[in-house]
Amino acid sequence: MSGDIRQLSVIIGVNGIGMGHSVRQSVIAQYLRDRGHSVRIVTNGAARVEYFRDLGFPAWDGWMPTLLARADRIHASDAVRANIWQAPIGLAKHMRLRRIVRETGVPDAFITDYEPNTPRLAYHFDRPLISVDQQSKYRHLDLPGVGTYARTADEQRLRHFAPRVDRSFICSYVPLEAKDRKVEFIAPVIPDSVRSTPVTTEPVATAYFSRYFDHGPENSVRDLIAVFRQYVPDRALRIYVQPAEAERLRQYAEGKIEICFFDRAAFIRDMARSEGVFSNAGFNLISEAFALGKPVHLVPLPTYDQHWCAKVVHEAKLGTSAPRVDGGAVLDFLNQSRELRSNVVRHRSEHLVVDPRERIASYLEGLPLVRSPILASSTG
C-alpha cells in the first residue's frame, strides 16, 4: 500500500444465505487487506463464519431474521410469527457483537451486503455505513414488475436491514442509472481466480441448479438430461449439484451426461470451456459466466430478484430464459449459442472490464478521519 494512504479499520457485514454474498465480499476484503487495511467480518451461520476465518479474517456470527414475502409483500404478522422464538437469541447475538466491537476497536467504517447487524452497529458507534450489494437497485430504482412478481418485498427487506446508508455501491452487469448522488453503479465484483481462468469453447454444457426452500433442482436436472439424451447426444453435459441432492440425481447420469458434487473451482473450469451455462438466475453465477464470456440459459427461482435478472439477460440477448426447463427453449439456446457468446464478449468489453474494487477502496480511503481510543483486542 502506498505510504500516503492511511490504514483503515473496516467491518464488513455479509448475508450468509447462499455463497454469492460471501464470494463477493471475500474478494473485497482480501483486496482491502492487501492495501494494508484491517478487515473484520460479521456474517450468519457457522459455515460462513468458518469460510472467512479460513481466509484469515476475524469473523463473528450474527442473527439474520426471516422475512419471507406473501403476495409480494412482507407482512408484520408473518415476520412476528417467523421470528418470535429466535428474537431473544438474535438480540443476544447482536449485543455480543457490540461488545466485541468495543473490545477489538471501533472501525472507521462499516460495509453491509444485505446484512442487518452491521447497519445497527454503524448507527450505534456513529460510523459511516456503505452498502455494497446488487439488491439495492430495488430500493433506489422504480423497477417494473416481472410477470406476477414485484420488487416490493425486496425494497422492504432493504429498508429493514439498513434504514439509511451514507453510500450505496450497486453491482450490475447491465448499465443502470440513479438520480440519487449517494448511489453509484459498479461492475460485478469478480474473483481474480475467475478472471484468469483459461477460456475455450468445447462441445460441452455446464449446469447448476440450486434449492430455494421447497423448490429443488430435481425437475430441472431430470428434464435437462432428458433433452440432452434425446436431442443433443453429441454434446457432453456436466451438472453440478450439492452433495445432499446428488444421491437421488445420480440415477439420471449416463454416457456424456455427468452428475458432479458441487466444487467451485471445478465448476468455474467447466464453465470456462463450455458453449453455454444452464442455471437458475442467481446474480453471482450470471456475472461470473459473463466474465468468462459465456451465455446463460436461466430458469429463475420464485423470487423477484431472479425473475428480474433472467428478464434483463434475455432482453439484452446475453442469454435466454424460460419458466422451466423446456426442450424447445433449450435447443433454441444451443442453436443461438455462437451469436449469444459474441454478444456476451462484446458486452463484457464495453461494460464489465473495470475492476470495481479500486473504486470501493478509494471511497473508503477518502472518508474523513474519525479518532477513537485504541481498545484491547479480543477474539470474541
Question: pLDDT tens for residues 140-152?
Answer: 999 999 999 999 9
Q: Mean per-residue pLDDT for 319-327? A: 96
Residue 327 has pLDDT above 60, yes or no: yes
Cell of 11: 467491518
Which residues, including other chains, have CB under 8 Å from residue 142's CB and lie 6 or more apart? none
Q: Mean per-residue pLDDT for 348-375? A: 85
Burial 151-165 (b: 16+ CB within 10 A, else e): bbbbbbbbeebbeeb
Burial class from Cβ neighbours inside 10 Å (0-12, 13-18, 19+) for residue 302 reads middle
Question: pLDDT tens for residues 273-295?
Answer: 999 999 999 999 999 999 999 99
How confident is the model at residue 4, as a pLDDT? 67
Question: pLDDT tens for residues 24-41?
Answer: 999 999 999 999 999 999
How confident is the model at residue 215, as a pLDDT? 83
Cα Rg of the chain (Å, integer): 21
Q: Mean per-residue pLDDT for 38-60? A: 97
pLDDT band at 306 (very low <50, low <70, confident <90, very high): very high
How confident is the model at residue 371, as a pLDDT? 56
Question: pLDDT tens for residues 185-208?
Answer: 999 999 999 999 999 999 999 999
For residues 209 and 190, give the distance between their C-alpha atoms in angstroms, rounded to a whole number.
Answer: 20
Residue 2 has pLDDT above 80, yes or no: no
For residues 162 and 313, give the distance between their C-alpha atoms in angstroms, rounded to a whole number.
Answer: 28
Q: Mean per-residue pLDDT for 318-346? A: 97
pLDDT band at 370 (very low <50, low <70, confident <90, very high): low
Q: What value, to the nearest 5°, has the Cα angle with vertex 70 and ends 69 and 73?
A: 65
Q: Mean per-residue pLDDT for 307-317? A: 97
Q: How far is CA 141 from CA 62, 208, 274, in A?
A: 29, 30, 34
DSSP letter for 46, please. H
Q: Mean per-residue pLDDT for 78-82? A: 95
How confident is the model at residue 336, as a pLDDT? 96
Burial class from Cβ neighbours inside 10 Å (0-12, 13-18, 19+) for residue 223 reads middle
- Cα 226 to its chain centre, rounded Å, is 30
For residues 155 and 138, give the distance between their C-alpha atoms in angstroms, rounded to a whole number.
Answer: 6
Question: pLDDT tens for residues 231-252?
Answer: 999 999 999 998 888 778 888 8
Residues above pLDDT 90, as percent of the chain? 87
Residue 351 has pLDDT above 70, yes or no: yes
How confident is the model at residue 246, as a pLDDT? 79
How confident is the model at residue 216, as a pLDDT? 83
Mean pLDDT (the chain, rounded): 93
Strand order in the sheet with 9-14: 59-61, 38-43, 9-14, 109-113, 129-133, 167-171, 183-186
Residue 377 has pLDDT above 90, yes or no: no
Q: Mean per-residue pLDDT for 61-86? A: 94
Q: Mean per-residue pLDDT for 248-259? A: 88
How confident is the model at residue 48, as a pLDDT? 96
Helix axes 152-161, 304-315, angle to 10 degrees: 120
Residue 374 has pLDDT above 60, yes or no: no
Under a CB-based contact definition with an 8 Å cutoff, are residues 14 and 41 in contact? yes
Range in 74-78, 349-353, 374-378 the model is least confident about: 374-378
Q: What value, to the nearest 5°, has the Cα angle with vertex 338 and ends 332 and 339?
A: 80
